[in-house]
A and B are shown apart, each in its own frame.
Chain A
Amino acid sequence: MTNLLILPILIPLMTAIVLIFLAKWVMVQRVVSVISTIGTLVASIILLLTVKKEGIQTVDVSSWQAPFGITLVSDMLSVLLVTTTSLITLCVIIYSFRSIGKKREQFYYYSIIQFMLVGVNGAFTTGDIFNLFVFFEVMLMSSYVLIVIGGTKIQLRESIKYILVNVISSAIFVVAVAFLYSVIGSLNMADISKRIAEVGQLPILTVIAVLFLIVFGLKGAIFPLYFWLPGSYHAPPVPVLALFGSLLTKVGVYSILRTYSLFFYHNQAFTHELLQILAILTIIVGAIGAIAYWDVKKIIIYNIIIAVGVLTFGISLATEESIKGTIFYLIHDMIIKAALFLLIGVMIKITGTSNLRKMGGLIKKYPLLGWTFLVATFGLAGIPPLSGFVGKFLIVRAGLAEGAYVGALIVLLSSLFVLYSVIKIFMNGFWRSPQDYPGEEKQPVHFLWMPGAILVLVSIVYGVGAEGMYPIISQATEALIDPTIYIDAVLKE
């Protein structure tokens, strides 16, 4: 079937449209969105198997040949991310049933979530730089709505900051694309890569590379550009936060990975070194934030920044091993961040506060929740049989092999800080003397625990089955290390 790789974009789009008509009937909305998201997940798994068997899949939208029309490209990396995204969205939707509240549900909540899935899946799949911008905007517009939906005071305040930052970064994105187009004269990513390889990386292209780094750094929260993230992510309700934390910044990281491995790999001395320095600083800033706070949401939010730093450090090394590690870690981090946000969401529901000092003794009444959370924290820190280990191990080893000792050391040390910060949640929230919280009996704890537990289970399988994942990740790495594979698949030469 020619259109298989469009399905993960088309199914959520159609669902989002249908859900506009169903705004008043909450039950129908729930059923429709769960069924369609399962459909998206199935479609992306089939696509994954197809890519594994037959190599990179492309579709020239509206039958215009490759450099002239928009091409959608599913290589192994993008299809892996699409599958992970669909899985996470499914879990978040199920979590939303009992936690987001009727008022928000009637106000197009599920429709907007589907639009966001369209944006994220589209951004991962597209092979056209301007189309990437458009999908970014689809994703961001939906995130604007999700951050403000409900209209509490803190949401209104933070959404203004969030929208302001993103409008500015989108404007820079347009300017960067305009520069690139005026130098190269093409928007198709494979064609751009080919033409850059022909002319070599002129100084102006290095400038454009840095401009792209600023854009995607703003989206993905790299060191000097992360300032908007802790406040903005603190505002929305937990399921929305889980979506944001696991998907949005990772789209920025994916875009850096794509552009820096496909376009700007000729003059690595400058661009990749800059990226490396920023990555190390990002990790340090994230680690400081993660240990500084006593607010469970804030702790996990700063852990996002640490993970972005680790990922960009892996990208900056640009060896086969480090890219492999980055992809391993990227997928692990998406899953485990979503799981952690959903689990602390349950804690917040039970205790009615996100302040760690006011929690305690949850393990007595909720042992399942406690042990799931402990496993998730170990996974996040990268303790060997679990999923965070392989990625970080490969990144550190690549760092040592490349002589980036400082970076490798900081990545290793960051694990300690990560572990300390999340174990702090476990020790203070679950141990200590039990307390009574008003209204805790009414909370649907088991229902809310389930989606998080599913994600933790997936991450355990992913970690233990790293051996089985290895050939898939290797296939994803090939196209990033050798851009000609990507170019040949798109331009059909």
Chain B
Amino acid sequence: MKTNDVILQTASKVVFFIIILFAIHLFFAGHYHPGGGFVGGLMTSGAIVLLLLAYDIKTVSQGFPIDYKILIGVGLLFAAGTAAGALLFNVPLLTHAFGDFNLPLFGKTSLHTAMLFDTGVYLVVIGVTMTIIQTIGESE
């Protein structure tokens, strides 16, 4: 008899978005509150893992047609690029810049290049976690 996962699947569709929103909140809160790229990334991959539990690897990879190994590379490029960007201004590696900007929708926002570095961390964490889980899941 084939099992029917309709409750699990419907529930995870809703919960997935809540987790993703929480993950993004954690990621952006990092500078002033607990949170940051690492937990944010882990939470995001947690959301994808929930989908993997409810559906199967094939369906989820259709939903997210990403090669997670490439994602690791992109994340590393972000982080290392932010670090190396300091070389252009002839200041020591990883020196960050920041300032307050008036953005159209958000109003007065303080932006910091540490954010770019954190984006790198975020992407690498997602990439690594998902690569590990997918390769273990796929191998027989």
Which A residues fall within an 8 A CB radius of B? Answer: 1-3, 6, 10, 13-14, 17-18, 20-21, 23, 59-63
Whether A2 touches B91, Cβ cut-off 8 Å, given contacts A14-B80, A17-B80, is yes
Residue of A nearest to B76 (CB): A17
Tell me if B20 is interfacial: C-beta within 8 Å of chain A.
no
Whether A17 touches B90, Cβ cut-off 8 Å, given contacts A62-B95, A63-B95, is no
Docked-complex contact B72 and A62, CB < 8 angstroms: no
A3 to B85, CA, bound (A): 11
A21 to B74, CA, bound (A): 9
Docked-complex contact B93 and A17, CB < 8 angstroms: no
Which B residues fall within an 8 A CB radius of A? Answer: 69-70, 72-73, 76-77, 80, 83-84, 86-87, 90-96
Residues of A within 8 A of B80 (CB): 10, 13-14, 17
Residues of A within 8 A of B76 (CB): 17, 20
A21 to B77, CA, bound (A): 11
Residue of B nearest to A9 (CB): B93
Docked-complex contact A62 and B73, CB < 8 angstroms: no
A256 to B137, CA, bound (A): 43
Docked-complex contact B93 and A59, CB < 8 angstroms: yes
Residue of A nearest to B83 (CB): A10
Minimum C-beta distance from B12 to chain A (A): 31
Whether A2 touches B69, Cβ cut-off 8 Å, given contacts A10-B84, A17-B76, A17-B77, is no
Apart from A17-B77, A23-B69, what are 17 other A-B pairs with CB-CB below 8 Å?
Answer: A2-B92, A3-B86, A3-B90, A10-B83, A10-B87, A13-B80, A14-B80, A14-B84, A20-B72, A20-B73, A21-B70, A60-B92, A61-B93, A62-B86, A62-B92, A62-B93, A63-B95
Whether A10 touches B93, Cβ cut-off 8 Å, given contacts A3-B87, A17-B80, is yes
Residue of B nearest to A59 (CB): B92
Residue of A nearest to B95 (CB): A63
Minimum C-beta distance from A61 to chain B (A): 5
Minimum C-beta distance from B40 to chain A (A): 21
Whether A61 touches B77, Cβ cut-off 8 Å, given contacts A3-B87, A20-B72, is no
